[in-house]
Structure 1
Amino acid sequence: MMVRLMLVGLLLLASAAAAAATVAQAKEGCLDKCGDVSIPYPFGTNEEQCYLSPYFLVTCNHSSNPPKLLLGKPSPEGNNVQVLDISLDGELLILNYVSHDCYNRSGGLDSLYSYGSHLTPGQFNISSTRNKFTMVGCDTYAWFRGQRGEESYRTGCMSLCDNITAVRNGSCSGNGCCQTSIPDELSDIQSHFTFSSDDLKDLKGIEKLPMVFDWAFGKETCQVVDENSQTNYACKGNSSCNKRKTGWGYLCNCSEGYQGNPYLESGCQDINECENSILNKCENPETCVNTQGNYTCSCPMWYQGDGKIDGQRCIPNRLQMIHAAMGIGIALLVLLVSSTWLFWALKKRRFIKLKKKYFQQNGGSELRQLSRQGSTERIKIFTFEELEKATKKYDESNIIGRGGFGTVYKGTLTDGRIVAIKKSKMVEQSQGKDFINEVGILSQINHRHVIQLLGCCLETQVPLLVYEFINNGTLSDHIHNENKASAIMWETRLRIAIQTAEALYYLHSVASTPIIHRDVKSTNILLDAEYNVKVCDFGASRLVPLDQTQLSTAVQELLDT
């Protein structure tokens, strides 16, 4: 006689992975654990404030060790469903009774047990995605029926096999084992029950197997709940409404970046992604900055992007680099210009101070005093810049005389006048006052055969004298040059001698203050284009002798050669 073994039940799919554990949290002051099972709100034990509604009431039975968590109030019959796990993702893992119909080898009935699972319509449904109706046995069939709203349904499956040895492991497609889906309009089942031939023997003594319930709130959709803004809305701060996996109603989830219990006030707390390298995708974890419900990553200088591996990453900011380079270039240019301007400003300031120093040292104040008294009305005080411009910065091409006294330059003033500028060699500072006195007296000389002093510059270490320019050279140039000498007639030579004598007479006897020339020679007698005489003192190396107490215009008594 063929042995028939039939074991029927709703089995938890072996391939369905457990949902990610969410931080379980009971209401403050309520029991949060029964044995090894956590009790998160909206579920709660006896006190009304501990659970959201009677649907979510659970009881902790301490009569067993360890204590067992039961769904609902304890029934007199003791047939409460045992809860193995409560997930805030809307799943309730329970232990469900298994029906069996077993026969011995002679074909006699060995055991028979049929169990009906009665669930009150409401917040709980049998999960169609996490369970399958499964039958283990040979030459038999099994079925179950249920209620879905107002509609009744029945389904089942059949299994055939000659003996245990003919059963193939891993298959539950009608050879020793069969499965069928639990009807649900949202079911999308791809998993399967892994069957072993040992199940034909080992399952005989098993009374209960795990099964999953789906739970949710109300009968409204999230859209209706959001539009009505109901006061009894289950989702609290930092959470959002989500559609139930199967059937009607809704669930709550913490918003992205938060974790905790979305059904409690302040139950969803910010996740610090920066403390978990898996949660944050920063290219450089050190740049991670936690924010409420999120985090940010930053890029180093000269780079742009969000700094995230799965985002824009960090890429060179060429525009910023160009702007930075331009900024640095402009800054360097400004620094260079400012430094140059400061250098020249300081140099000019020192030069101005030095000119003032020389001006005072050379008797500039005394000369101005004489000018105010009317003694030097015709003498102009030139600036250093005026004479430098007139001589083109004392260019050598403008030199018209050079000797032991110094150098004489030809210059053109801004008004077009051509002048001779005498740049003497060094003299002692003590001569400054005597020099001014001499300039004051020379400025009063007004004779047609005496060179006229036009002015002076006192802003240099050695004063510069400015005379009228005589363009035909000195008498020495003409009498010592055979070509030029032959051109001078005796009548002209006599006139030159007479004009020289007239000039000396004027200096010695007619001038308001007699002036002794002391250095009359051919090199100090200038001739114009008509060979008219201009007596000068260009040959003197110093203007006033150190030991001279009487007025003179030379410091040497040199004989003409």
Structure 2
Amino acid sequence: MALQMVRSRMLVLVMMCLVLNAFARASNVINSSCQEDCGNVSIPYPFGIGNGCYVADWFEIVCKNDSLRKPLLKRFNYLEVLEINVTKGTVRVSYPIFSSCTNVTNSTKNLELEKIPFGFSEFDNSFVAMGCNNSASMWSIFPDDSVSYGGCKSPCDRAPFTNGSHCNATNCCQATIPSDLQAFSTTLESKSSYNNGSRECKYAFLVDQNWFETSFTEPNPNMSVPVVLYWNFDNTTFYSLPTMKNMTAREYKKSSYSCQRWARKSRNFTSIFCQCRGGYGGNPYLLGGCVDTDECASAHLNQCTYEERCENTEGYYRCVPPNYKNKKPFIIIGVSTSLGVLFLIFGGWWSYKVIKKRMRIKRNEKFFKQRLLLQQQLFTNMNRVNVENTKLFKSKELEKATDHFRADRIIGRGGQGTVYKGMLANGRIVAIKRSNIVDEKKFQEFVNEVVILSQINHRNVVKLLGCCLETEVPLLVYEFIPNGTLAQYLNSQNEEFPPTWDMRLRIAIEVARALFYLHSAASSPIYHRDIKSTNILLDEKYRAKIADFGISRSVAIDQTHLSTLVHGTFGYVDPEYFQSSQFTNKSDVYSFGVVLAELLTGEKAISSSRTEDTGLAAFFVSSMERNNLFDILDNRVLKEAEKEKIIAVAKIAKRCLNLNGKERPSMREVAMELEANQMSPKVSNLQEKYGEIEDVRSEISKQYDVVYISTMSSMDSILATSSLDSQPLILSS
């Protein structure tokens, strides 16, 4: 039953929308070339602007062409039109008031509406007098010589609400006007015995009663007020209307509108007024102007109870009680349908729960295998430094830290995953890397990165805080590094911390130290295999930190190379490794040489702007061989660094980029020579003291061995610092 009533209501709403659309499409003008409005006032037919747009001259409106765009009745002394109501047959105009500011009796005649099809509406207007002891009267003389009087006297105190008066201000009174009023005279008579020579102004005027009660404030001699006029047609005008031309009595009876005739005292002819029939609405003076309306779709529907239905017959509605005998089959069908829907909902919910439970069991089994694999890998490395400090995070803990991995928390994307910025429960800011896919190969890389980073504890290597295996894809938690990557730093215009020569040299030394640590000082040698400027991060003090150990490998101490499929980034990959598939520690040296060339030139590793060599490595080496080194260096390097130091660092980079891996220096040698370049005032001073460059290297090596013996024993105890800054960490593949 209830379902049927809902359907009925929906059908009614659809009908209402169709009716409203029909009204919206109906035009209020006789043809499309006629102007439909002037300013904020709609101008419906029989009124109109321009030739052929109005029924007779008295209905012509002029739209004043100024900023206000006021509609004016042309034949009616250009009175301003405020509103036209076709349904009621009225037009509101702005009408001047009659006033006198002397003690002399004054009169005026208002003859604007004589012998024209307009009159003052006795239902909408009132006659108002204002002023202390003001006696105002009005009379109208009709064509049959009859006279109608009216008026009132305004007191000098607040007028009470008597005789239906709505004049509730001081010095004010109100009176009705006679019917069929077209022309009238007004007299203002001052009672001198009361005003004692007062110069207060007195007023008498016709006014729209509703406007007077709601909007009137204070009068002044030059103001105008709204007045409501009615209109009618004589026989000639009436039969020129589009709806009446060539219409038979039979057609008129079946039409959607009707017209009434009545005699007025102010007329010497019978006047005619039209309106839409019951059940229709719109403009009765236009063909098709009256549109059928559904009374049951209007407010009348609310008068019928839920058990009753509304019937619409020829524009009239009635509420019909239900016939339960005829509706019994529908009730049975409705109940059966409802039970069926409930069964489907319950069955679907139960099936969803069962499937979700099975998926959760399978996922838990998979997560258990993953945890077991990771724990086995970690257990084999328990004798190594820092493994016991790797924490297994809960998935809910990391979801809360990243606000359920919201998009605005993303601070970096790479080939292996997406990096989010998060805050743990203890307030620590971290970077959380979420892997892209969960195939076996990627999970092995994930485990590999956890195991390798668990062995490393160096100030220039990103610190791994822990991981999470409770989600569909693995999650790694790192310390947060705020100042982005080295690639971003070299390519951006950082005015506060520009990439000066000293800054570049310090970053190169820190990366070299970290690689030397990985190759020589860690518990077992580690090959990074993807050294590049986007995998070198900068902390809050712009110290370098190597990141992204997904394809890194740990090798035995006596192992010289690693045979594997070629991995890495184009532009940084060792050509010798690319040909032989054998990765050595000298392959990391080649990649570092590319980074060193980036620091010197500010160029990218791969660039289409270079005509001869798109790769920076080949371009850098060939430029040095052609003695064009200073033509390719970054301007800041040329301005800030000494020529001898630039040449020394460039030679180190060239040696690192040697196509023969055996000819490349080790990271130990590279780190020592860069530190010597940083510490010495001029390389030439060392040459003068020790002779040729080979002797310089020998002396630096002796000095570095002393430092190495005293410091490397404690290097593993140095903790990598973290930052609470708000700048992003980028971990690229």
Give me the TM-score of the superposition, normalised by structure 2: 0.28
Give me the TM-score of the superposition, normalised by structure 1: 0.35
- The structure where strand makes up a greater share of residues is 1
Q: Report which of the two structures shows the higher radius of gyration computed on alpha carbons.
A: 1
